[in-house]
Structure 1
Amino acid sequence: MNNANLLSQLTTNERVLVNSEVQSKGKNMALAYILALFLGLLGAHRFYMGKTGSGVTMLLITILTLGFGAIVTGIWTFVDLFLIPGWIRDENSTIERSTAELILNDPKRLAKDI
Protein backbone atom coordinates (compact mmCIF):
# COMPACT_ATOMS: atom_id res chain seq x y z
CA MET A 1 0.00 0.00 0.00
CA ASN A 2 1.46 3.38 -0.96
CA ASN A 3 1.82 6.30 1.41
CA ALA A 4 -0.91 8.43 -0.19
CA ASN A 5 -3.44 5.64 0.35
CA LEU A 6 -2.34 5.20 3.96
CA LEU A 7 -2.49 8.93 4.66
CA SER A 8 -5.95 9.22 3.15
CA GLN A 9 -7.21 6.88 5.88
CA LEU A 10 -5.96 9.19 8.63
CA THR A 11 -7.70 12.11 10.26
CA THR A 12 -6.19 15.59 9.98
CA ASN A 13 -4.72 15.36 13.49
CA GLU A 14 -3.19 11.98 12.69
CA ARG A 15 -1.65 13.38 9.49
CA VAL A 16 -0.16 16.23 11.51
CA LEU A 17 1.32 13.63 13.86
CA VAL A 18 2.81 11.74 10.89
CA ASN A 19 4.33 14.95 9.48
CA SER A 20 5.73 15.81 12.90
CA GLU A 21 7.34 12.38 13.13
CA VAL A 22 8.92 12.77 9.68
CA GLN A 23 10.26 16.20 10.69
CA SER A 24 11.78 14.92 13.93
CA LYS A 25 13.13 11.55 12.75
CA GLY A 26 13.66 12.23 9.06
CA LYS A 27 16.85 13.30 7.36
CA ASN A 28 17.58 16.91 6.49
CA MET A 29 18.62 17.68 2.90
CA ALA A 30 20.66 20.76 3.83
CA LEU A 31 22.63 18.89 6.48
CA ALA A 32 23.33 16.00 4.11
CA TYR A 33 24.69 18.42 1.49
CA ILE A 34 26.78 20.33 4.03
CA LEU A 35 28.34 17.08 5.23
CA ALA A 36 28.96 15.96 1.64
CA LEU A 37 30.55 19.26 0.61
CA PHE A 38 32.79 19.74 3.65
CA LEU A 39 33.45 16.19 4.89
CA GLY A 40 32.46 14.13 1.87
CA LEU A 41 35.97 12.79 1.32
CA LEU A 42 35.66 11.15 4.74
CA GLY A 43 32.17 9.76 4.01
CA ALA A 44 30.40 11.87 6.64
CA HIS A 45 27.27 12.25 4.52
CA ARG A 46 27.05 8.47 4.16
CA PHE A 47 27.33 7.98 7.92
CA TYR A 48 24.52 10.52 8.36
CA MET A 49 22.32 8.64 5.88
CA GLY A 50 22.92 5.33 7.67
CA LYS A 51 25.17 3.94 4.94
CA THR A 52 27.85 3.01 7.43
CA GLY A 53 29.65 0.38 5.36
CA SER A 54 30.33 2.67 2.42
CA GLY A 55 31.07 5.54 4.82
CA VAL A 56 33.79 3.47 6.48
CA THR A 57 35.10 2.51 3.04
CA MET A 58 35.37 6.17 1.99
CA LEU A 59 37.04 7.06 5.28
CA LEU A 60 39.58 4.27 4.97
CA ILE A 61 40.35 4.99 1.31
CA THR A 62 41.09 8.61 2.13
CA ILE A 63 43.08 7.98 5.31
CA LEU A 64 45.01 4.83 4.42
CA THR A 65 46.21 6.20 1.09
CA LEU A 66 47.59 9.31 2.82
CA GLY A 67 45.14 11.48 0.93
CA PHE A 68 45.84 10.13 -2.57
CA GLY A 69 42.56 8.22 -2.39
CA ALA A 70 40.83 11.59 -2.16
CA ILE A 71 40.67 11.54 -5.95
CA VAL A 72 38.50 8.41 -5.80
CA THR A 73 36.42 9.58 -2.86
CA GLY A 74 36.09 13.02 -4.43
CA ILE A 75 34.51 11.51 -7.55
CA TRP A 76 32.40 9.27 -5.31
CA THR A 77 31.21 12.29 -3.32
CA PHE A 78 30.40 14.19 -6.52
CA VAL A 79 28.19 11.31 -7.67
CA ASP A 80 26.58 11.17 -4.21
CA LEU A 81 25.54 14.82 -4.56
CA PHE A 82 23.07 13.64 -7.20
CA LEU A 83 21.94 10.64 -5.12
CA ILE A 84 21.25 12.48 -1.86
CA PRO A 85 17.75 13.74 -2.79
CA GLY A 86 16.59 10.18 -3.55
CA TRP A 87 18.08 8.87 -0.31
CA ILE A 88 16.31 11.60 1.69
CA ARG A 89 13.01 10.96 -0.11
CA ASP A 90 13.24 7.20 0.50
CA GLU A 91 14.20 7.58 4.16
CA ASN A 92 11.45 10.09 4.91
CA SER A 93 8.91 8.02 2.98
CA THR A 94 9.78 4.97 5.06
CA ILE A 95 9.29 6.94 8.29
CA GLU A 96 6.00 8.32 6.98
CA ARG A 97 4.74 4.84 6.02
CA SER A 98 5.77 3.17 9.28
CA THR A 99 4.22 5.94 11.38
CA ALA A 100 0.96 5.85 9.40
CA GLU A 101 0.79 2.05 9.72
CA LEU A 102 1.45 2.31 13.45
CA ILE A 103 -1.42 4.77 13.85
CA LEU A 104 -3.78 2.72 11.68
CA ASN A 105 -3.00 -0.47 13.62
CA ASP A 106 -3.48 1.17 17.04
CA PRO A 107 -6.34 -0.60 18.88
CA LYS A 108 -7.15 2.64 20.75
CA ARG A 109 -7.83 4.30 17.39
CA LEU A 110 -10.45 1.68 16.60
CA ALA A 111 -12.21 2.38 19.90
CA LYS A 112 -12.45 6.08 18.98
CA ASP A 113 -14.14 5.26 15.66
CA ILE A 114 -16.93 3.24 17.30
Structure 2
Amino acid sequence: MTAEQVSDKKILPAFLMCFFLGMFGIHRFYVGKIGTGILQIVTLGGLGIWALIDWIMLMCGAFTDKQGNKLTEWT
Protein backbone atom coordinates (compact mmCIF):
# COMPACT_ATOMS: atom_id res chain seq x y z
CA MET A 1 0.00 0.00 0.00
CA THR A 2 1.45 3.38 -1.00
CA ALA A 3 1.19 6.61 0.94
CA GLU A 4 -1.03 9.25 -0.57
CA GLN A 5 0.82 12.18 -2.13
CA VAL A 6 0.09 15.70 -0.91
CA SER A 7 -0.07 18.69 -3.25
CA ASP A 8 2.02 21.80 -2.68
CA LYS A 9 -1.03 23.88 -3.66
CA LYS A 10 -3.14 25.32 -0.83
CA ILE A 11 -6.89 24.89 -0.35
CA LEU A 12 -7.69 28.50 0.64
CA PRO A 13 -6.61 30.17 -2.64
CA ALA A 14 -8.33 27.45 -4.69
CA PHE A 15 -11.44 27.72 -2.49
CA LEU A 16 -11.66 31.50 -2.91
CA MET A 17 -11.04 31.30 -6.66
CA CYS A 18 -13.72 28.64 -6.98
CA PHE A 19 -16.20 30.63 -4.87
CA PHE A 20 -15.76 33.94 -6.69
CA LEU A 21 -14.65 32.84 -10.19
CA GLY A 22 -15.78 29.21 -10.34
CA MET A 23 -17.75 29.76 -13.53
CA PHE A 24 -14.48 30.54 -15.29
CA GLY A 25 -12.52 27.60 -13.89
CA ILE A 26 -9.73 29.79 -12.49
CA HIS A 27 -9.21 27.38 -9.59
CA ARG A 28 -8.49 24.58 -12.07
CA PHE A 29 -5.78 26.64 -13.75
CA TYR A 30 -4.29 27.20 -10.27
CA VAL A 31 -3.91 23.45 -9.65
CA GLY A 32 -2.61 22.79 -13.18
CA LYS A 33 -5.75 21.34 -14.77
CA ILE A 34 -5.59 23.55 -17.87
CA GLY A 35 -7.82 21.41 -20.12
CA THR A 36 -10.74 21.24 -17.71
CA GLY A 37 -10.19 24.91 -16.85
CA ILE A 38 -10.77 25.80 -20.51
CA LEU A 39 -13.86 23.56 -20.57
CA GLN A 40 -15.22 25.40 -17.54
CA ILE A 41 -14.70 28.74 -19.29
CA VAL A 42 -16.55 27.50 -22.38
CA THR A 43 -19.46 25.99 -20.40
CA LEU A 44 -19.48 28.66 -17.65
CA GLY A 45 -18.58 26.07 -15.05
CA GLY A 46 -21.06 23.56 -16.42
CA LEU A 47 -23.73 26.24 -15.91
CA GLY A 48 -22.53 26.51 -12.31
CA ILE A 49 -23.04 22.85 -11.42
CA TRP A 50 -19.44 21.80 -12.11
CA ALA A 51 -18.13 24.79 -10.13
CA LEU A 52 -20.43 23.91 -7.21
CA ILE A 53 -19.18 20.31 -7.17
CA ASP A 54 -15.56 21.53 -7.19
CA TRP A 55 -16.35 23.92 -4.33
CA ILE A 56 -17.84 21.09 -2.25
CA MET A 57 -14.85 18.85 -3.05
CA LEU A 58 -12.50 21.61 -1.88
CA MET A 59 -14.40 21.94 1.40
CA CYS A 60 -14.27 18.18 1.96
CA GLY A 61 -10.57 17.90 1.11
CA ALA A 62 -11.19 15.66 -1.90
CA PHE A 63 -9.95 18.04 -4.63
CA THR A 64 -6.72 17.06 -6.41
CA ASP A 65 -4.11 18.80 -8.51
CA LYS A 66 -2.94 17.78 -12.00
CA GLN A 67 -0.80 14.92 -10.66
CA GLY A 68 -3.69 13.53 -8.58
CA ASN A 69 -2.26 14.77 -5.27
CA LYS A 70 -4.84 15.97 -2.74
CA LEU A 71 -4.87 19.56 -1.56
CA THR A 72 -4.67 19.15 2.22
CA GLU A 73 -3.38 22.41 3.71
CA TRP A 74 -5.56 25.51 3.95
CA THR A 75 -2.71 28.04 4.25
**TM-score, normalization by structure 1:** 0.47
- Say if 1:26 and 1:92, in contact at 8 Å, map to a contact too: no
Q: What is the root-mean-square deviation in Å for CA atoms of aligned residues? A: 2.8
CA 1:92–1:75: 2 relative to 1, 3 Å: closer
SS at match of 1:41: helix
Query: Among residues 86, 89, 106, which one is paired with 2:62 in the alignment?
Result: 86
| Structure 1 ranges of 4+ moved more than 4 A | none
CA 1:88–1:57: 2 relative to 1, 3 Å: closer
Q: Tell me the matched-pair count.
A: 66
Q: Deviations over 1:50-72 (max 9, x none)?
A: 2111110111223xxxxxxx6x3
Letter in 2 for 1:3: A
Whose Rg is larger?
A: 1
- Say if 1:41 and 1:59, in contact at 8 Å, map to a contact too: yes
Identity of aligned residues (%): 30
The alpha carbon displacement at 1:82 in A equals 2.2
Structure (1/2) with the larger helix percentage: 1
The structure showing larger relative contact order (alpha-carbon pairs under 8 Å, at least 6 residues apart) is 2
Letter in 1 for 2:62: G
Measured in 2, the distance between the counterparts of 1:88 and 1:31 equals 14
